Structure 1
Protein backbone atom coordinates (compact mmCIF):
# COMPACT_ATOMS: atom_id res chain seq x y z
CA UNK A 1 0.00 0.00 0.00
CA UNK A 2 1.26 3.49 -0.88
CA UNK A 3 2.00 5.68 2.14
CA UNK A 4 0.19 9.00 2.04
CA UNK A 5 2.00 11.98 3.53
CA UNK A 6 -0.27 14.61 5.09
CA UNK A 7 0.29 18.32 5.12
CA UNK A 8 2.92 19.55 7.60
CA UNK A 9 1.50 22.57 9.44
CA UNK A 10 3.42 24.78 11.86
CA UNK A 11 1.22 25.63 14.85
CA UNK A 12 1.54 26.09 18.60
CA UNK A 13 -2.07 25.76 19.74
CA UNK A 14 -4.13 22.79 18.44
CA UNK A 15 -7.34 24.50 19.55
CA UNK A 16 -6.50 27.60 17.49
CA UNK A 17 -6.00 25.43 14.40
CA UNK A 18 -9.33 23.70 15.02
CA UNK A 19 -11.19 27.01 15.43
CA UNK A 20 -10.30 28.19 11.92
CA UNK A 21 -10.19 24.83 10.11
CA UNK A 22 -12.80 22.49 8.66
CA UNK A 23 -12.33 19.18 6.85
CA UNK A 24 -14.33 17.72 3.96
CA UNK A 25 -14.18 15.65 0.82
CA UNK A 26 -13.63 16.35 -2.87
CA UNK A 27 -15.19 15.44 -6.19
CA UNK A 28 -14.65 16.11 -9.90
CA UNK A 29 -16.94 18.17 -12.12
CA UNK A 30 -17.62 17.67 -15.83
CA UNK A 31 -19.25 20.00 -18.36
CA UNK A 32 -19.75 22.60 -15.69
CA UNK A 33 -19.71 26.15 -17.10
CA UNK A 34 -16.71 28.14 -15.93
CA UNK A 35 -14.65 25.11 -14.88
CA UNK A 36 -12.11 22.91 -16.60
CA UNK A 37 -13.42 19.42 -17.27
CA UNK A 38 -12.38 17.12 -14.44
CA UNK A 39 -11.67 19.98 -12.04
CA UNK A 40 -11.48 18.86 -8.42
CA UNK A 41 -13.76 20.82 -6.08
CA UNK A 42 -14.85 20.56 -2.46
CA UNK A 43 -17.94 18.38 -2.09
CA UNK A 44 -19.45 20.69 0.57
CA UNK A 45 -19.34 18.11 3.34
CA UNK A 46 -17.41 20.46 5.63
CA UNK A 47 -17.19 19.43 9.26
CA UNK A 48 -15.27 20.93 12.18
CA UNK A 49 -11.74 19.61 12.43
CA UNK A 50 -11.81 16.96 15.18
CA UNK A 51 -9.77 17.75 18.28
CA UNK A 52 -7.46 14.79 17.69
CA UNK A 53 -6.61 15.80 14.11
CA UNK A 54 -4.03 18.57 14.59
CA UNK A 55 -1.44 16.05 15.77
CA UNK A 56 -1.63 14.42 12.35
CA UNK A 57 -0.23 17.58 10.78
CA UNK A 58 2.66 18.18 13.17
CA UNK A 59 5.85 18.58 11.09
CA UNK A 60 8.17 15.59 11.28
CA UNK A 61 11.82 15.54 12.19
CA UNK A 62 12.77 15.55 8.51
CA UNK A 63 10.27 18.17 7.31
CA UNK A 64 12.23 20.66 5.24
CA UNK A 65 11.57 24.39 5.33
CA UNK A 66 10.42 24.08 1.71
CA UNK A 67 7.71 21.61 2.76
CA UNK A 68 6.25 23.52 5.70
CA UNK A 69 2.89 25.28 5.87
CA UNK A 70 2.98 28.47 7.96
CA UNK A 71 0.38 31.10 8.81
CA UNK A 72 1.18 34.64 9.89
CA UNK A 73 -0.15 38.11 10.53
CA UNK A 74 1.40 41.06 8.70
CA UNK A 75 3.45 43.49 10.80
CA UNK A 76 1.76 46.79 11.61
CA UNK A 77 4.38 48.52 9.46
CA UNK A 78 2.78 47.03 6.33
CA UNK A 79 0.02 49.40 5.34
CA UNK A 80 -0.22 49.08 1.55
CA UNK A 81 0.93 47.06 -1.47
CA UNK A 82 4.20 49.01 -1.70
CA UNK A 83 5.24 48.32 1.89
CA UNK A 84 4.19 44.67 1.47
CA UNK A 85 6.45 44.29 -1.59
CA UNK A 86 9.29 45.92 0.35
CA UNK A 87 8.76 43.42 3.18
CA UNK A 88 8.90 40.46 0.79
CA UNK A 89 12.18 41.75 -0.61
CA UNK A 90 13.63 41.58 2.92
CA UNK A 91 12.62 37.98 3.70
CA UNK A 92 15.82 36.35 2.49
CA UNK A 93 15.23 35.30 -1.11
CA UNK A 94 17.11 37.78 -3.33
CA UNK A 95 14.87 36.98 -6.29
CA UNK A 96 11.27 36.42 -5.16
CA UNK A 97 8.88 35.88 -8.07
CA UNK A 98 5.87 38.22 -7.95
CA UNK A 99 2.61 36.58 -9.02
CA UNK A 100 0.54 39.73 -8.87
CA UNK A 101 -2.76 40.53 -7.19
CA UNK A 102 -6.20 38.98 -7.52
CA UNK A 103 -9.53 40.58 -6.66
CA UNK A 104 -12.15 37.91 -5.99
CA UNK A 105 -15.86 38.47 -5.37
CA UNK A 106 -17.61 36.67 -2.51
CA UNK A 107 -19.30 33.33 -3.11
CA UNK A 108 -16.59 31.60 -5.18
CA UNK A 109 -16.09 27.87 -4.28
CA UNK A 110 -12.60 28.16 -5.82
CA UNK A 111 -10.92 31.32 -7.07
CA UNK A 112 -7.93 30.44 -9.25
CA UNK A 113 -8.42 30.64 -13.02
CA UNK A 114 -6.41 29.61 -16.05
CA UNK A 115 -5.13 32.92 -17.49
CA UNK A 116 -5.58 31.89 -21.14
CA UNK A 117 -9.12 30.50 -20.86
CA UNK A 118 -10.48 32.12 -17.72
CA UNK A 119 -11.71 28.71 -16.56
CA UNK A 120 -11.45 27.76 -12.90
CA UNK A 121 -8.84 25.09 -12.20
CA UNK A 122 -10.16 23.62 -8.99
CA UNK A 123 -7.62 22.07 -6.66
CA UNK A 124 -4.25 22.17 -8.43
CA UNK A 125 -0.50 22.25 -8.00
CA UNK A 126 1.64 25.18 -9.07
CA UNK A 127 4.02 24.30 -11.88
CA UNK A 128 5.94 27.53 -12.46
CA UNK A 129 9.20 25.58 -12.20
CA UNK A 130 7.84 22.28 -13.64
CA UNK A 131 10.21 20.25 -11.50
CA UNK A 132 10.33 16.46 -11.90
CA UNK A 133 9.23 14.03 -9.20
CA UNK A 134 12.75 13.62 -7.81
CA UNK A 135 13.27 17.40 -7.37
CA UNK A 136 9.72 18.46 -6.54
CA UNK A 137 10.48 18.94 -2.83
CA UNK A 138 12.95 21.72 -3.68
CA UNK A 139 10.31 23.96 -5.29
CA UNK A 140 9.69 27.49 -4.06
CA UNK A 141 6.93 28.04 -1.53
CA UNK A 142 4.07 30.38 -2.31
CA UNK A 143 3.55 33.35 -0.03
CA UNK A 144 0.05 34.80 -0.18
CA UNK A 145 -1.46 37.67 1.81
CA UNK A 146 -5.14 38.53 2.16
CA UNK A 147 -5.43 42.30 1.76
CA UNK A 148 -9.18 42.26 2.46
CA UNK A 149 -11.63 43.73 2.94
CA UNK A 150 -13.24 40.28 3.36
CA UNK A 151 -12.01 37.00 4.79
CA UNK A 152 -11.37 33.97 2.59
CA UNK A 153 -10.33 30.34 2.93
CA UNK A 154 -7.26 28.42 1.91
CA UNK A 155 -8.13 24.96 0.56
CA UNK A 156 -5.47 22.27 1.01
CA UNK A 157 -5.34 18.63 0.04
CA UNK A 158 -4.14 16.48 2.91
CA UNK A 159 -2.23 14.28 0.44
CA UNK A 160 0.76 15.56 -1.51
CA UNK A 161 1.23 15.23 -5.27
CA UNK A 162 4.20 12.88 -4.95
CA UNK A 163 2.07 10.37 -3.05
CA UNK A 164 -0.63 10.81 -5.67
CA UNK A 165 1.88 10.19 -8.46
CA UNK A 166 2.97 6.95 -6.83
CA UNK A 167 -0.63 5.81 -7.05
CA UNK A 168 -1.40 6.81 -10.65
CA UNK A 169 1.96 6.16 -12.39
CA UNK A 170 3.81 2.86 -12.71
CA UNK A 171 7.08 4.72 -13.37
CA UNK A 172 6.46 7.66 -11.09
CA UNK A 173 10.19 8.37 -10.63
CA UNK A 174 10.38 9.79 -14.15
CA UNK A 175 7.16 11.84 -14.11
CA UNK A 176 6.64 15.57 -13.79
CA UNK A 177 3.81 15.91 -11.24
CA UNK A 178 0.81 17.76 -12.63
CA UNK A 179 -2.75 18.73 -11.70
CA UNK A 180 -3.92 16.04 -14.13
CA UNK A 181 -2.44 13.46 -11.75
CA UNK A 182 -4.74 14.71 -8.99
CA UNK A 183 -7.73 14.48 -11.31
CA UNK A 184 -6.79 10.96 -12.34
CA UNK A 185 -6.43 10.03 -8.67
CA UNK A 186 -10.02 11.12 -8.03
CA UNK A 187 -11.17 9.33 -11.20
CA UNK A 188 -9.78 6.12 -9.66
CA UNK A 189 -12.07 6.80 -6.68
CA UNK A 190 -9.17 7.19 -4.29
CA UNK A 191 -10.06 9.03 -1.07
CA UNK A 192 -9.01 12.65 -0.68
CA UNK A 193 -9.67 15.00 2.20
CA UNK A 194 -9.48 18.78 2.03
CA UNK A 195 -8.76 21.29 4.76
CA UNK A 196 -10.53 24.66 4.64
CA UNK A 197 -8.62 27.21 6.71
CA UNK A 198 -9.91 30.74 7.32
CA UNK A 199 -7.56 33.59 6.40
CA UNK A 200 -8.69 36.99 7.66
CA UNK A 201 -7.60 40.38 6.27
CA UNK A 202 -4.00 41.14 7.18
CA UNK A 203 -3.16 37.45 7.47
CA UNK A 204 -1.13 35.30 5.10
CA UNK A 205 0.32 31.88 4.47
CA UNK A 206 3.39 30.11 3.14
CA UNK A 207 2.62 26.78 1.43
CA UNK A 208 4.57 24.37 -0.81
CA UNK A 209 1.97 24.69 -3.57
CA UNK A 210 4.10 22.80 -6.10
CA UNK A 211 3.80 19.78 -3.80
CA UNK A 212 0.43 20.16 -2.07
CA UNK A 213 -2.73 20.60 -4.18
CA UNK A 214 -4.52 23.79 -3.14
CA UNK A 215 -6.88 26.59 -4.11
CA UNK A 216 -8.67 29.42 -2.35
CA UNK A 217 -12.35 30.10 -1.72
CA UNK A 218 -14.59 33.05 -0.94
CA UNK A 219 -17.68 30.90 -0.46
CA UNK A 220 -19.86 32.03 2.42
CA UNK A 221 -18.25 35.47 2.56
CA UNK A 222 -20.11 38.78 2.24
CA UNK A 223 -17.21 40.93 1.05
CA UNK A 224 -14.68 40.58 -1.78
CA UNK A 225 -11.01 40.13 -0.97
CA UNK A 226 -7.75 40.97 -2.69
CA UNK A 227 -4.61 38.85 -2.45
CA UNK A 228 -0.97 39.43 -3.35
CA UNK A 229 1.36 36.45 -3.93
CA UNK A 230 5.02 35.62 -4.48
CA UNK A 231 7.14 32.50 -4.93
CA UNK A 232 10.42 32.17 -3.08
CA UNK A 233 12.89 30.07 -1.15
CA UNK A 234 12.25 31.15 2.43
CA UNK A 235 13.36 29.74 5.76
CA UNK A 236 10.77 28.79 8.35
CA UNK A 237 9.90 31.15 11.16
CA UNK A 238 10.25 34.46 9.33
CA UNK A 239 7.05 35.65 11.02
CA UNK A 240 5.70 34.97 14.45
CA UNK A 241 3.20 32.08 14.31
CA UNK A 242 -0.43 33.03 13.88
CA UNK A 243 -1.81 29.91 15.57
Structure 2
Protein backbone atom coordinates (compact mmCIF):
# COMPACT_ATOMS: atom_id res chain seq x y z
CA UNK A 1 0.00 0.00 0.00
CA UNK A 2 1.36 3.42 -0.92
CA UNK A 3 1.42 5.87 2.00
CA UNK A 4 1.17 9.62 1.87
CA UNK A 5 4.42 11.27 0.72
CA UNK A 6 4.93 14.25 3.02
CA UNK A 7 7.76 16.70 2.43
CA UNK A 8 9.51 17.45 5.72
CA UNK A 9 13.02 18.21 6.93
CA UNK A 10 12.61 17.63 10.66
CA UNK A 11 10.80 14.51 11.94
CA UNK A 12 10.20 16.30 15.25
CA UNK A 13 8.35 19.09 13.43
CA UNK A 14 6.08 16.57 11.74
CA UNK A 15 5.50 14.83 15.08
CA UNK A 16 4.53 18.17 16.63
CA UNK A 17 1.67 18.88 14.22
CA UNK A 18 0.54 15.41 13.10
CA UNK A 19 -1.62 12.78 14.81
CA UNK A 20 -3.04 9.46 13.62
CA UNK A 21 -6.34 7.64 14.18
CA UNK A 22 -8.45 4.80 12.88
CA UNK A 23 -11.62 5.20 10.83
CA UNK A 24 -15.32 4.59 11.19
CA UNK A 25 -17.97 4.13 8.52
CA UNK A 26 -21.30 5.86 8.94
CA UNK A 27 -24.50 4.10 7.92
CA UNK A 28 -27.14 6.83 7.76
CA UNK A 29 -26.45 10.08 9.58
CA UNK A 30 -28.04 13.49 8.93
CA UNK A 31 -25.83 15.77 6.87
CA UNK A 32 -23.55 12.99 5.60
CA UNK A 33 -23.58 10.82 2.52
CA UNK A 34 -24.47 7.16 3.08
CA UNK A 35 -21.45 5.07 4.11
CA UNK A 36 -19.21 8.14 4.54
CA UNK A 37 -15.82 7.32 6.09
CA UNK A 38 -14.65 9.50 8.99
CA UNK A 39 -11.81 9.38 11.53
CA UNK A 40 -12.85 7.47 14.65
CA UNK A 41 -11.73 10.39 16.85
CA UNK A 42 -9.14 8.44 18.86
CA UNK A 43 -6.20 10.61 17.92
CA UNK A 44 -2.72 9.55 18.99
CA UNK A 45 0.79 10.89 18.39
CA UNK A 46 2.65 9.35 15.48
CA UNK A 47 4.49 6.23 16.69
CA UNK A 48 8.27 6.45 16.93
CA UNK A 49 9.82 6.06 13.53
CA UNK A 50 6.57 6.79 11.73
CA UNK A 51 7.60 10.06 10.06
CA UNK A 52 10.14 8.14 8.00
CA UNK A 53 7.32 6.01 6.58
CA UNK A 54 5.88 9.13 4.95
CA UNK A 55 9.17 10.54 3.66
CA UNK A 56 9.17 10.95 -0.14
CA UNK A 57 11.35 8.54 -2.08
CA UNK A 58 13.41 9.19 -5.18
CA UNK A 59 10.40 7.90 -7.13
CA UNK A 60 7.94 10.41 -5.65
CA UNK A 61 6.59 12.75 -8.31
CA UNK A 62 5.94 16.41 -7.64
CA UNK A 63 2.28 15.69 -8.44
CA UNK A 64 2.12 13.18 -5.57
CA UNK A 65 3.73 15.28 -2.86
CA UNK A 66 2.12 16.79 0.24
CA UNK A 67 3.74 20.09 1.20
CA UNK A 68 2.93 22.45 4.06
CA UNK A 69 3.91 26.11 3.84
CA UNK A 70 3.46 29.53 5.38
CA UNK A 71 2.40 32.44 3.20
CA UNK A 72 4.90 35.28 2.75
CA UNK A 73 4.26 38.14 5.16
CA UNK A 74 3.67 40.45 2.18
CA UNK A 75 0.48 38.52 1.28
CA UNK A 76 -2.10 40.25 3.44
CA UNK A 77 -5.43 39.95 1.61
CA UNK A 78 -7.53 37.93 -0.83
CA UNK A 79 -6.42 39.89 -3.90
CA UNK A 80 -2.74 39.50 -2.98
CA UNK A 81 -3.24 35.77 -2.44
CA UNK A 82 -4.94 35.34 -5.82
CA UNK A 83 -2.12 37.28 -7.50
CA UNK A 84 0.47 35.10 -5.73
CA UNK A 85 -1.17 31.87 -6.94
CA UNK A 86 -0.87 33.18 -10.48
CA UNK A 87 2.92 33.32 -10.10
CA UNK A 88 3.48 29.78 -8.81
CA UNK A 89 4.12 28.14 -12.17
CA UNK A 90 0.74 27.04 -13.52
CA UNK A 91 -0.49 29.67 -15.99
CA UNK A 92 -4.13 28.55 -15.67
CA UNK A 93 -4.82 27.44 -12.07
CA UNK A 94 -8.41 26.36 -11.45
CA UNK A 95 -10.13 28.43 -8.78
CA UNK A 96 -12.21 26.29 -6.38
CA UNK A 97 -13.49 29.22 -4.34
CA UNK A 98 -13.66 29.87 -0.63
CA UNK A 99 -15.32 28.17 2.32
CA UNK A 100 -16.23 29.45 5.75
CA UNK A 101 -16.49 26.67 8.32
CA UNK A 102 -17.70 26.77 11.92
CA UNK A 103 -15.64 25.12 14.66
CA UNK A 104 -16.34 21.59 15.81
CA UNK A 105 -16.88 19.87 12.44
CA UNK A 106 -15.29 16.37 12.10
CA UNK A 107 -15.14 16.98 8.34
CA UNK A 108 -15.89 20.21 6.49
CA UNK A 109 -16.26 19.52 2.78
CA UNK A 110 -19.68 19.48 1.12
CA UNK A 111 -20.48 17.60 -2.08
CA UNK A 112 -21.67 19.90 -4.86
CA UNK A 113 -23.85 17.06 -6.16
CA UNK A 114 -25.64 16.11 -2.93
CA UNK A 115 -25.14 19.07 -0.57
CA UNK A 116 -24.01 16.52 2.02
CA UNK A 117 -20.66 15.85 3.65
CA UNK A 118 -18.84 13.02 1.84
CA UNK A 119 -16.30 12.36 4.60
CA UNK A 120 -12.91 11.18 3.37
CA UNK A 121 -13.04 11.39 -0.41
CA UNK A 122 -11.01 11.82 -3.57
CA UNK A 123 -11.38 14.79 -5.88
CA UNK A 124 -12.65 13.97 -9.36
CA UNK A 125 -12.59 17.30 -11.13
CA UNK A 126 -10.70 15.70 -14.05
CA UNK A 127 -12.25 12.20 -13.75
CA UNK A 128 -8.99 10.53 -14.74
CA UNK A 129 -8.71 6.74 -15.07
CA UNK A 130 -6.37 4.66 -12.92
CA UNK A 131 -3.46 4.80 -15.37
CA UNK A 132 -3.50 8.61 -15.63
CA UNK A 133 -4.46 9.39 -12.04
CA UNK A 134 -1.04 10.63 -10.97
CA UNK A 135 -1.09 13.31 -13.67
CA UNK A 136 -3.96 15.12 -11.90
CA UNK A 137 -3.55 18.64 -10.62
CA UNK A 138 -2.62 19.08 -6.98
CA UNK A 139 -4.93 20.98 -4.67
CA UNK A 140 -3.61 24.14 -3.03
CA UNK A 141 -5.49 25.31 0.07
CA UNK A 142 -4.78 28.25 2.37
CA UNK A 143 -6.22 28.74 5.85
CA UNK A 144 -7.47 32.33 5.99
CA UNK A 145 -8.31 32.08 9.71
CA UNK A 146 -9.15 33.26 12.22
CA UNK A 147 -8.98 29.73 13.70
CA UNK A 148 -6.72 26.77 13.08
CA UNK A 149 -7.97 23.68 11.27
CA UNK A 150 -6.69 20.26 10.21
CA UNK A 151 -5.93 18.53 6.94
CA UNK A 152 -7.09 14.89 7.06
CA UNK A 153 -5.25 12.35 4.88
CA UNK A 154 -5.75 8.63 4.47
CA UNK A 155 -2.52 6.67 4.76
CA UNK A 156 -3.33 4.60 1.63
CA UNK A 157 -3.90 6.01 -1.84
CA UNK A 158 -6.86 5.31 -4.08
CA UNK A 159 -4.78 3.44 -6.69
CA UNK A 160 -3.68 0.90 -4.07
CA UNK A 161 -7.29 0.60 -2.96
CA UNK A 162 -8.43 -0.05 -6.54
CA UNK A 163 -5.81 -2.75 -7.04
CA UNK A 164 -7.23 -4.50 -3.99
CA UNK A 165 -10.82 -4.27 -5.18
CA UNK A 166 -10.85 -4.64 -8.96
CA UNK A 167 -9.51 -7.31 -11.31
CA UNK A 168 -9.41 -4.84 -14.19
CA UNK A 169 -8.17 -1.87 -12.19
CA UNK A 170 -6.06 -0.55 -15.08
CA UNK A 171 -9.16 0.77 -16.86
CA UNK A 172 -11.12 1.71 -13.74
CA UNK A 173 -11.97 5.32 -12.88
CA UNK A 174 -11.21 5.63 -9.14
CA UNK A 175 -13.87 7.26 -7.01
CA UNK A 176 -14.84 7.76 -3.38
CA UNK A 177 -17.11 4.71 -3.43
CA UNK A 178 -13.99 2.55 -3.89
CA UNK A 179 -12.71 3.86 -0.56
CA UNK A 180 -16.05 3.14 1.11
CA UNK A 181 -16.15 -0.43 -0.23
CA UNK A 182 -12.55 -0.94 0.90
CA UNK A 183 -13.54 0.07 4.43
CA UNK A 184 -16.68 -2.10 4.28
CA UNK A 185 -14.39 -5.08 3.60
CA UNK A 186 -12.49 -4.14 6.80
CA UNK A 187 -9.23 -3.50 5.00
CA UNK A 188 -6.70 -1.61 7.13
CA UNK A 189 -6.85 2.17 6.83
CA UNK A 190 -5.72 4.97 9.10
CA UNK A 191 -6.00 8.76 8.93
CA UNK A 192 -3.42 11.47 9.55
CA UNK A 193 -4.43 14.84 11.00
CA UNK A 194 -2.09 17.74 10.21
CA UNK A 195 -2.63 21.08 11.95
CA UNK A 196 -2.84 24.08 9.60
CA UNK A 197 -2.71 27.44 11.41
CA UNK A 198 -3.97 30.77 10.00
CA UNK A 199 -1.67 32.00 7.24
CA UNK A 200 -0.52 28.46 6.50
CA UNK A 201 -1.50 26.21 3.62
CA UNK A 202 -0.90 22.93 1.88
CA UNK A 203 -0.48 21.23 -1.46
CA UNK A 204 -1.80 17.67 -1.76
CA UNK A 205 -2.64 15.13 -4.50
CA UNK A 206 -6.33 14.98 -3.59
CA UNK A 207 -7.28 13.07 -6.75
CA UNK A 208 -5.04 10.24 -5.53
CA UNK A 209 -5.06 10.42 -1.73
CA UNK A 210 -8.40 10.37 0.15
CA UNK A 211 -8.68 13.54 2.24
CA UNK A 212 -10.91 16.11 3.91
CA UNK A 213 -10.49 18.95 6.38
CA UNK A 214 -11.68 19.31 9.97
CA UNK A 215 -12.39 22.02 12.52
CA UNK A 216 -12.99 19.52 15.32
CA UNK A 217 -11.55 20.64 18.66
CA UNK A 218 -11.28 24.29 17.56
CA UNK A 219 -13.06 27.21 19.23
CA UNK A 220 -12.96 29.61 16.26
CA UNK A 221 -14.27 29.36 12.71
CA UNK A 222 -11.86 29.34 9.81
CA UNK A 223 -12.11 30.16 6.12
CA UNK A 224 -10.15 28.69 3.22
CA UNK A 225 -9.32 29.49 -0.39
CA UNK A 226 -8.41 26.66 -2.78
CA UNK A 227 -7.07 26.08 -6.30
CA UNK A 228 -6.02 23.18 -8.52
CA UNK A 229 -2.84 23.36 -10.55
CA UNK A 230 0.31 21.69 -11.83
CA UNK A 231 2.93 23.00 -9.42
CA UNK A 232 6.51 21.88 -8.95
CA UNK A 233 7.69 21.01 -5.47
CA UNK A 234 9.26 23.70 -3.33
CA UNK A 235 7.55 26.83 -4.66
CA UNK A 236 7.38 27.90 -0.99
CA UNK A 237 9.98 27.28 1.67
CA UNK A 238 9.16 24.19 3.73
CA UNK A 239 7.17 24.71 6.91
CA UNK A 240 8.33 21.52 8.65
TM-score in terms of structure 2 length: 0.99
Query: Conserved in 2, the CA contact under 8 Å of 1:18 and 1:51?
Result: no
**Distance apart, 1:116 and its partner CA:** 3.6
Q: In the alignment, which residue of structure 2 is the partner of 1:84?
A: 81
- Equivalent residues, number: 240
**Whole-Å Cα distance in 2 between the matches of residues 44 and 104 of structure 1?**
19
Q: In the alignment, which residue of structure 2 is the partner of 1:96?
A: 93
Q: In the alignment, which residue of structure 1 is the partner of 2:155?
A: 158
**Distance apart, 1:31 and its partner CA:** 1.1
Q: In the alignment, which residue of structure 1 is the partner of 2:222?
A: 225
**Distance apart, 1:231 and its partner CA:** 0.1
Q: Deviations over 1:18-37 (max 9, x none)?
A: 01000001111011010000
> For structure 1, which segment, 138-147 or 108-117, has the greater mean C-alpha deviation from structure 2 after superposition?
108-117
Q: Secondary structure at the match of 1:167?
A: helix
TM-score in terms of structure 1 length: 0.98
- State whether structure 2 residue 40 is matched by structure 1 residue 21: no
Q: In the alignment, which residue of structure 2 is the partner of 1:54?
A: 51
The partner residue of 2:144 within 144, 147, 151 is 147
Gaps of 5+ in 1: none
Q: In the alignment, which residue of structure 1 is the partner of 2:72?
A: 75
Equivalences for 1:135-214 in 2 at 5 Å? 135-214=132-211
Q: In the alignment, which residue of structure 1 is the partner of 2:111?
A: 114
**Distance apart, 1:169 and its partner CA:** 0.8
Gaps of 5+ in 2: none
